[in-house]
Structure 1
Amino acid sequence: MKTKALLAAGLAAVTLLSLSACGSSGGSASSDTDTGTLAIYAWAGEIPDAVINGFEKETGIKVTVDTFDSNETMISKLAAGNSGYDVVEPSQYAVQLMVQRNLLEKIDHAKLKGFGNLAAKFKNPSFDPGNQYSLPWAWGTTGILYNESCTGAPVTGWSDMWNAKYKGKIYMLDNMLSAYIAGLQVLGLKATTTSKSDIAKATDKMLAQKPLLAGYNSDNYADLVGSGDACIAEAYSGSVSAKAVAANPKVHYVIPSEGGTLWTDSFSIVQGTDNESGAYKWLNYTLRPAVAAELTDDAQLASVNTAAMAKVKDQSLVKNAAIYAPAADLTKSEFIIDPGKAMTYFQDGWTRIRAS
């Protein structure tokens, strides 16, 4: 299962990326009429087999799915031309970059059925006003995973990750922009800031934190928190954190009181697709509540479809905060978007932090 470590890692590299052709896992795809093949390029693990099988049975359209490991791999493939894909699944900042490169078709909302099923926070998002180029599918958060047996008390915010009481048992994500989310928000600054001054203040705050850390870890932090070898860790929502919460009643996932962040992966139609009709059939199929619920049951990911939550067969997944963070906790959460030229400020600060 992919984590948003990949999303944020790609974001951190975006201004340095030299777009070149990269092969997908299944090679170049092809598509023809809407009664033939629909070629999709997506994150691994985010389109359950049940969704594909149901769509094929209903429409008679054969679906081929190739997977990518980062938004940059996906963008490179499309930018090289003649990718053969009809539908892709970019994360929020990737939608911005792909629109700039004219890689996506504008969505005709008159052809959509079920758009009203989407939660309000995914309609008219900052990265794609009016959902002109993207239709959200999966979402998640960046927050805190902690073991109350170790902390001795509930953890509520990023400030707990600067608490000397937990020295040597704190992990930050091993990812530049993910780490800066905490460094900025703990100071009351926006995670989406592009201010050189704000980023410098966060850098100083993170330098002060470093002696307290056990390390930077984007791999097995959930296992370490679950076992008590770590008290507290910056974490991504999704199946890894959800399993840790389900396995140990003392392990909790929370959105920090200072805000936290949101991510979303969306379906978009590729510019110049040969199967536009099939692409719209796919979009409309995934807007159905029963179909969207399969994302949660089969992939342990949160669906953007509000009506889908009642359709999830295993309702314990809906109640797991590491999958569906409570709406009340998301009021200050922000979508991480492309920081543009400010990326150099983050990179310079991160180099200082890691070298200290």
Structure 2
Amino acid sequence: MKKQLLVPAFASAALLVLAGCSSDGQSGDGLFIDVPDIPMAEELGAAEDASLDIVAWSGFVEPEWSDQFTEDTGCVVNRRVAGTSDEMVTLMRTGEYDLVSASGDASLRLIAGGDVAPINLDLIPNFGDDIVEGMKGQIYDTINGQSYGVPIGRGANILQYNSEVVTETPESWDVVWEADSPYAGQIIAYDAPIYIADAAVYLMTHEPDLGITNPYALDETQLAAAVELLQQQNEIVAEYWADPVAQITSFVGGTTVVGTSWEVLRKFTEDTEKFGGTLPVEGSTGWSDAWMLSSEADAPNCAYLWMDYTSSPEVNGAIAMNFGMAPANAAFCETSDEAAQHCEDFNATDEEYFSNVWFWTTPIEQCVDGRTDVTCTNFQQWTEAWLTVKG
């Protein structure tokens, strides 16, 4: 594989034009849009005499497995931890990094901008039958039938609650959205434009006349309805969180008693029995992370070797346990009793559970729900709308 094969064919982002997509927007061959024509590697060459520079979430690249990778391949790993998807996009656009562990709210931005290259899965032997089906061919990282991401793990954005105050398990998200919530003033919400999708998920069930079928495909009327609900919620929210530590502190300190959380966060509290978590009847949003290869990678061979290495059951499972998520490689679940328990705790192979989760997907003007008679709102519009919510 030659580096020049991975250089972007276009220097600027191409206009996204929808040609069609799967009817449910959740699986299949991904999304069909026009994107920059970035060549895909056809074969793997020798490991480069250069560092492998990775932008990753905290916990994804640790010495306990990266040191072994260096010993096996000679590729020296340099990690840059990022705290948000926006930061990841910004860093990848500098051209200084080879890989990123991108979530779905960053993936389409990177693909459309020509910042990442399509991936030849044939060069990744560990990407095989054991990769869970629910993380293959998704619209956030599979474009025109071509993969741009190697799955790492996934999780749902659940409803967390303090069982000493919220004494019955909530069945609905209404306890955080409705103005007459008994927990008004004690609610915590996620602080990011992508949280608009959480409002849309709630409206899909409670305002069906809006016609929302995918929370990331909102026309102007649907976006306005979601923003109105968010503004209503703003009146009863105690805190917004983007930093997981702040979320944990808020719950443990008693400032908040119910709100949006990642599955792993309640396990980090001092009294895990005190904090429950549930996936309400409306379903939820969620996140699915994948390795994406820079179109300007200085060490593309090392990057492919890393993606294969971290797709093995043992290493993928180590990352999943370290971060707190469902692993992509289901074979990990059979490696030990501890692994089996982790997979059970995070619903690793329960596709019925994840069928009720709408994974983060960058909103674009071409409606990812398949509509062609309207223009949907894009991420910039969501960003501007989010500012009106928070004031």
TM-score range, shorter chain: 0.7 to 0.9
- Tell whether the 8 Å contact from 1:37 to 1:63 is kept in structure 2 after alignment: no
Residue 231 (str. 1) matches residue 227 (str. 2): no
Residue 91 (str. 1) matches residue 103 (str. 2): yes
Distance 1:277 1:331, change over 3 A: same
Aligned to 1:207: 231
Moved more, 337-346 or 89-98: 337-346
Distance 1:73 1:250, change over 3 A: closer
Aligned counterparts of 1:157 and 1:203: Cα–Cα separation in 2: 20
Structure 1 portions without partners, runs of 5+: 1-31
Distance 1:293 1:313, change over 3 A: farther
- Tell whether the 8 Å contact from 1:48 to 1:294 is kept in structure 2 after alignment: no
Aligned counterparts of 1:346 and 1:143: Cα–Cα separation in 2: 22
2:74 to 60, 65, 83: 60
Counterpart secondary structure, 1:249: helix
- Tell whether the 8 Å contact from 2:54 to 2:100 is kept in structure 1 after alignment: yes
> Cα deviations across residues 13-59 of structure 1 (Å, max 9, x unaligned)?
xxxxxxxxxxxxxxxxxxx9616344132223212322202212222
Considering fraction of residues, name the structure with more helix: 1
Aligned counterparts of 2:224 and 2:343: Cα–Cα separation in 1: 39
Distance 1:183 1:92, change over 3 A: closer
User: What amino acid is aligned across from residue 277 of structure 2 in structure 1?
Assistant: Y
Aligned to 1:149: 164
- Tell whether the 8 Å contact from 2:266 to 2:272 is kept in structure 1 after alignment: no
Structure 2 portions without partners, runs of 5+: 1-44, 205-211, 366-376
Aligned counterparts of 2:311 and 2:171: Cα–Cα separation in 1: 34
Moved more, 345-354 or 257-266: 345-354
Aligned counterparts of 1:224 and 1:72: Cα–Cα separation in 2: 24
Residue 241 (str. 1) matches residue 277 (str. 2): no
Aligned counterparts of 1:151 and 1:212: Cα–Cα separation in 2: 16
> Cα deviations across residues 84-129 of structure 1 (Å, max 9, x unaligned)?
x333322223222222222223222222212222111110011122
Residue 177 (str. 1) matches residue 201 (str. 2): no
- Tell whether the 8 Å contact from 2:169 to 2:278 is kept in structure 1 after alignment: no
Aligned to 2:302: 278
- Tell whether the 8 Å contact from 2:175 to 2:182 is kept in structure 1 after alignment: no
> Cα deviations across residues 274-311 of structure 1 (Å, max 9, x unaligned)?
43332222221111101111113333333222112233
User: What amino acid is aligned across from residue 343 of structure 2 in structure 1?
Assistant: V
Aligned counterparts of 1:39 and 1:289: Cα–Cα separation in 2: 22
Counterpart secondary structure, 2:217: coil
Residue 166 (str. 1) matches residue 183 (str. 2): yes
Aligned counterparts of 1:127 and 1:194: Cα–Cα separation in 2: 16
1:50 to 51, 56, 64: 64
User: What amino acid is aligned across from residue 312 of structure 2 in structure 1?
Assistant: R
User: What amino acid is aligned across from residue 104 of structure 1 in structure 2?
Assistant: V
Tell me the matched-pair count.
Answer: 318
Residue 305 (str. 1) matches residue 329 (str. 2): yes
Distance 1:136 1:45, change over 3 A: same
Aligned to 1:338: 362
Aligned counterparts of 1:263 and 1:228: Cα–Cα separation in 2: 27
Aligned to 1:125: 138
Identity of aligned residues (%): 18
- Tell whether the 8 Å contact from 1:125 to 1:131 is kept in structure 2 after alignment: no
